Amino acid sequence: MVSSNEVKDALNVRATLNFARKHNKNLHWYYATDSHSGKVIEDQDLKQHLASLHSGKTNQRLGKLPLVIGMPVMICQNFDVEGGIVNGCPGTLKRIRFCVDEQGQRHAISCEIEAPTTTCENLPNLAAQHVAALQDTVDMCFIHPHSRKSCTIKRTQLPIIPAFAMTAHKAQGQTMERAIVDLQSCFGTESAYVMASRVKSLNGLAILRPFDKRKIQSRQSEDSRKEAKRLEYLNLHTIMRVGSGEESASAQQTLRNRYQDQLCMDNNPKNSPTSTTDSAKQLQKLQTSNEVIISRPSAATIVHASSITSTVIDEISSSMQSLNFTNKQIDPKKTIAPHAPETKTETRPLKRRIRDQSPENRKRQKTTPKKLSQELPTTFQPPTPSI
C-alpha cells in the first residue's frame, strides 16, 4: 500500500511482469480509445502523452492496461451496488473479450472476474461469484503538452486495474491477511492508520522501508479536525432536541461551553446549518473566532491563535528589527509618524525653489551657470494692447 497513484501504477506494472514470468503466462497490453468532439485522437505524440498519465489523472482508466489471466484486479466502477460489484471490489481475472485495431493493438471489451465479496445473483453462463465488467466511457481532463491549456476528452477503457499495489484510499474497509506498507510516503496520520490497520495481526504486516516517526505522531489534518468538530456539534444538537431530559441538559451545557458563537448563529434561521457545506463554513468561522492582538508602535495586527507558529514569530521579530522597533528609545521632543521618512526642511524662499526646480533652469544651471543672470530680463515689459 502506498499513498501515490503514480507509484501504485509503477509497482503494478512491475508486479504484473513478474506474475506472468513466474506462472509462465502471456502478458498483453490493452489500449484505451481517446476521442475529442466525437473524433478519435490520431496524433501519435498526444496519444503517447495520454497513455503515460497515471490512474489518478484518468479516473482510474489507464491508457495502457497490462493484464494476465489469473492475476488480481480491482473493479473501478459501480456496476451493482446492492450486489457488491462496486468501485474498489477486488477479484481474480478469468477471461477477457477484446478486439484488435488496424495497428495491431488490443482493446478490451469485457472481462470475467471472480469476486468472492459479491452477493449478487449469478449471471447466465457464469459460475457463482463470477461477475462481468464492461468497458465504459468517462470524461478525462488533462493539460495539453504543447499549448499548456486544460482539455477535456472522452476515454473508453475497461474499468479495472491491477491490484498488486493500491493506495491507502482504496484500501479503506478491506481486511487482508498480509500487506506491505510504505509509511514514509504518507502525508498524515490518517493514511498511516489505514495502512497499518488492514491486516489482522503484526505477523502479516511488513514495512517497506524506514520511516520518520513523525509520520505516525503528527496530528490529524485540518480537514479531519473540521469534520470531527462538525459531527460533534451536530451530534450534540440532535441530542439536545430529541434526547431525554438529562441528556438534553448535558448536551445543551456542552454546546454552551464549546459552541457559544455557533448557538448564536443558530438563533437566526438563515444561518442554521442546512447542509454539510454550510455547517462546515460556520464551524470554520467558529474555529477562527479566537484571536490574539499583537501590538507595536505603528499599529495593531490581529493574528489567529491557530496560525501562530515559530516561523510567524520569527518573521514578526525580523520585521520589527528592520523597522527599528526593538530596543529603540524614542525622544519625546521629536515625534515622527510611523513609517514616515524624515525630511529636511529647506530655508530658501518658496519662489526661488519653484524657479530653480523648473526643467529650463536645471538645463541652464548645467550648461552656463555663470551667465544665467545675463540671459534673464532685468525688467518686465507688458505687451502693448492693440486697439
Predicted TM-score of the model (pTM) = 0.59
Specify the pairing of strand 39-40 against strand 33-36. Answer: antiparallel
What percentage of the chain carries pLDDT values higher than 90? 36
- Indicate if 161 and 58 belong to the same structural domain: yes
pLDDT of residue 302: 35
d(CA 128, CA 81): 18
Average pLDDT over residues 319-326: 44
Residues 161-184 have pLDDT tens digits of: 999 999 998 888 888 899 999 998
- Indicate if 199 and 276 belong to the same structural domain: no
Residue 383 banded pLDDT, cuts 50, 70, 90: low
CB-CB neighbours of 129 under 10 Å: 16
Residues 101-119 have pLDDT tens digits of: 998 999 999 999 999 989 8
Q: Per the domain annotation, does 350 fall within a domain?
A: no
CB-CB neighbours of 328 under 10 Å: 10
pLDDT of residue 359: 61
Concatenated DSSP letters of 268-284: SGGGS--SHHHHHHHHH
Average pLDDT over residues 326-335: 42
Average pLDDT over residues 132-148: 90
- Indicate if 213 and 103 belong to the same structural domain: no
At which residue does the C-alpha cell 543672470 appear? 373
The pLDDT of residue 145 is above 80: yes
d(CA 64, CA 52): 8
Choosing from 259, 286, 313, the residue where a domain stops is 286
Q: Per the domain annotation, does 143 fall within a domain?
A: yes
Concatenated DSSP letters of 160-181: EEE-SS-BTTTTTT--BS-EEE
- Indicate if 269 and 120 belong to the same structural domain: no
Q: Residues with Cβ < 8 Å from 217, sequence gap 6 or more?
A: 189
Average pLDDT over residues 188-197: 86
Cell of 339: 513609517
d(CA 198, CA 208): 15
The pLDDT of residue 365 is above 80: no
Mean pLDDT of the chain: 76
Q: Residues with Cβ < 8 Å from 115, sequence gap 6 or more?
A: 75, 84, 85, 89, 90, 91, 129, 130, 131
Structural domain tally of the chain?
3
pLDDT of residue 123: 87
Helices 245-258 and 222-242, interaxial angle, to 10°? 140
Cell of 19: 506474475
**C-beta separation of 67 from 153 below 8 A:** no
Between 217 and 350, the higher pLDDT residue: 217
At which residue does the C-alpha cell 501504485 appear? 8
- Indicate if 60 and 159 belong to the same structural domain: yes
Rg (CA), the chain: 36
Ranges 58-62, 86-90, 132-136, 362-366: which has the least confidence: 362-366
- Indicate if 68 and 113 belong to the same structural domain: yes
Helix and strand totals (H; E) in the chain: 12, 15
- Indicate if 210 and 151 belong to the same structural domain: no
pLDDT of residue 17: 96
- Indicate if 146 and 13 belong to the same structural domain: yes
Please name which of 132, 131, 113, 102 lies closest in space to residue 33, comparing C-alpha atoms. 102
Domain that holds residue 215: 175-219
Residue 353 banded pLDDT, cuts 50, 70, 90: low
pLDDT of residue 11: 93
**C-beta separation of 244 from 255 below 8 A:** no
- Indicate if 162 and 17 belong to the same structural domain: yes
d(CA 378, CA 386): 25
- Indicate if 163 and 52 belong to the same structural domain: yes
pLDDT of residue 254: 87
Ranges 15-24, 145-154, 354-363: which has the least confidence: 354-363
Q: Per the domain annotation, does 208 fall within a domain?
A: yes
**C-beta separation of 2 from 185 below 8 A:** yes
Residue 284 banded pLDDT, cuts 50, 70, 90: low
The pLDDT of residue 265 is above 80: no
Q: Per the domain annotation, does 74 fall within a domain?
A: yes
Choosing from 237, 258, 286, the residue where a domain stops is 286
Residue 329 banded pLDDT, cuts 50, 70, 90: very low
pLDDT of residue 328: 42
Choosing from 286, 302, 321, the residue where a domain stops is 286
CB-CB neighbours of 91 under 10 Å: 24
Dihedral, CA of residue 194, residue 199, residue 203 and residue 207, to nearest 10:
-30
pLDDT of residue 15: 95
Q: Per the domain annotation, does 365 fall within a domain?
A: no
- Indicate if 179 and 228 belong to the same structural domain: no
At which residue does the C-alpha cell 545675463 appear? 374
Give the count of alpha carbons within 13 A of 187, CB side only.
Answer: 9
The pLDDT of residue 333 is above 70: no
pLDDT of residue 262: 57
SS3 132: strand
Q: Per the domain annotation, does 329 fall within a domain?
A: no
Residue 189 banded pLDDT, cuts 50, 70, 90: confident
**C-beta separation of 186 from 192 below 8 A:** yes
Average pLDDT over residues 242-270: 74
Between 9 and 185, the higher pLDDT residue: 9
The pLDDT of residue 71 is above 90: yes
Residue 340 banded pLDDT, cuts 50, 70, 90: very low
Q: Per the domain annotation, does 212 fall within a domain?
A: yes
- Indicate if 57 and 121 belong to the same structural domain: yes
Amino acid present at 174: Q
Q: Per the domain annotation, does 149 fall within a domain?
A: yes
pLDDT of residue 289: 46
